[in-house]
Structure 1
Amino acid sequence: MRFSAGLTAAALSGLATAASQQQSADVYMFPSSSQASAETPSVPKEVARHILLQRTSRQRYGSDLRDIPSSIDAETVVDHLARFGKSPAPLFTHADKVDASQLVILLEGAASDQFSRLREQLGQHVAFTIPDPPSATANNHLMTLFQNMGVASSNHCELSSMINPFETDCWTGPSSVVKYDLRASPKTYDSLFDNLSRLEKFVTDGDLEVLLVLLPESSRSSNLNYWSAAAAGTGSGLHRRRATEMVLTDHEIPKSTLAADGKLPAGSSNAARRPRAAPKCFSTLDSCVKDTNSCSGHGECVNKYGTGNDTDDSHSCFVCACKRTVVKAPGGGETTGSKTVRWGGDMCQKEDVSVQFWLIAGFTIAIVGAVSFAISLLFSVGEEKLPGVIGAGVSRPK
């Protein structure tokens, strides 16, 4: 009994050890990285996430490395991004040249024999490995992040159609990302080998660049539910940064939208905090007065194509007509100690300093011109030649 109990305990311990040692994920690049090394680099999941986003971003992707753990060297992170990210366009290139389409393929639930077969079939080294691949839940969050960035996600298309960048039914932009579950769809793995020659042709012709991520089955139930620790609880690091940033605006939030404690209600939109420019025309007088706060108190709303506040015109266009305001100094009389302020802008919210500007600019130009003319006049007088005989009327004594 003791012997069988010891065998059972040893077997359970072995299973627990095997479960704790999670298999790494393999990442392949097509075309392969030019900086080949003898040892396959190990890239943390946070850095791998930035690589995926950088390769598929439609615009220039600025990597915010605040979600990278402090234990990872910053120089190593930058080196991985430069090595495995999307290569920048050459400085001198033809205007009609189109960049290669970017494709990211996520294959979930790969078994150990599938890892070995893929390495043998491709005949190339793994670009890098991810030692801590997150769970399937994290992959779903990552796909949502791709969609929020405008990257096309075509999970309804088969792999044979996705590797063709000219397939209009599956490609709606310059980049695309797709995720397949090998346990639910085992034919996808065989389809990858059947279409390797087509994939290599598109890559060789410069029409396609592919990043293939092979995720092990052991990572499906991982405790890591996000690719980035900063994204936990918010869905993405972008949403978290937006929540912590303060939006500066010149417009005061209406008191009617504030709660009793002076904060915005939970269901209110952040649009009240964003500055909103006044339209060029208001259709009615009331809308002009309300939206411009009576032209900021520095003017009045008038019909641009009518007469004054006439509202009978079919082509009504109410705009702010700015006026002058007189600011009296403390202790000053009606005629002394006062200042006239001119206003401008769509809502008469800006002080018009054009008169002061032109006075200072004109005075400066006049002074510079006068000094330049005086200097040039002195140089012209100094360059005149003296007469040959200064004492022409004086004769020599005999």
Structure 2
Amino acid sequence: MKLTTTGIISALCWSARIASASTAHILTYDPQSQPRHDPHSRTLSPVPARLLLAQRAGVEDYHRADIARDEVIDAINDYGVRDHMFTEQRDGSRRALILVEGAEGKELDSFRSAYTSVQVSPAPAAHASKGLFIDLIKQSDPRPLAALSDDAVLANIKETNNVVVNGDMFYLADSLADASAMFEKLAKSNEWSITALISPPVDHFTKQGKEEKFQWGTYEIPQRQTKRDRLPKEEPLTETHSFKPVQSFSAPISSFANNTTPLRGILPACFTSQSACESATRNCTDHGHCSKKYHDPDSLAPGGSTGLDCWSCQCKSTKSSDGKKTTVWGGPACQKKDVSVEFWLIALFTVGLVSLIGFAVGNLFSMGSEELPSVIGAGVSGPTARK
């Protein structure tokens, strides 16, 4: 009986330890509201807790896939930051997000009792919580931070005193005492809407696979370009059967010269490779050559890599067989003749001819407008008869 009682007590201790280790905590503070000291704090699952963190960090647009759930709406209404209606302007308080890993014990209980607290159960893995913290930083300031690695993002935040470009703060605390001191410092200034995410300590007896089971859910990650600079999504091209597929981009250049049929359709201004440029333009219709115009490091290649090259035709002038006539070529495939010289010759000749005719008509008009002499027949009268 004694052994049975000891076993039951040990099992209860292990159950309590596992339950405590699988619970994270979210602490909030807002200058315009009083903290709620509820001994039985509310418990959220990871997805509503993530939406609450995103809303308090001001990046809920990246998490809109789950924002219509009832438990998410209730959590944001109860613990979210109050924004003004019918305006995109934020209130006067700035936002701060603090992350502390592996906190437990009496210090955590006293810290929780001083502010509004929400439990997250089952708690995601420690590395998942840190990954969410870094993603929230990238979402708050995507232009310089979206292209950086996780370590580079944390290093950048430390260099800027944990403040991003919009004035919000993201602080990775070294310990629970460090997080508590920063939380109290910001709360005393009464200028910050503060959120602290406290993840439980890593249970070394828990397998890694079990930790991987509970995550924060899925959400959008900002691209290298910001929303304003991002190009609109295009519909995927469908294969057409009106043209024969290109078998090889390495066809000899001489084969393009034998094809004199006109190019159909509107050609793009840029091609992704030299071979694609030569194939689509028939080596610039033998009136130039394909060359790399520029390199765009911010564009995404089809294979997922970053950076695209712009290849286009560089046209050249050609001379007739006798060397007397020079033809200038232009267009995306150097297929169009430059007729600007002929145009200006015709235009100048037309202007000169019109000016000459106008001058002649003006002279005739000025001559016709002169007054006639008073006596037209003076000195020209005939002989008179003598009487």
TM-score (norm: length of structure 1): 0.47
**TM-score normalised by structure 2 residue count:** 0.48
Q: Which structure has the larger Rg over C-alpha atoms? A: 2
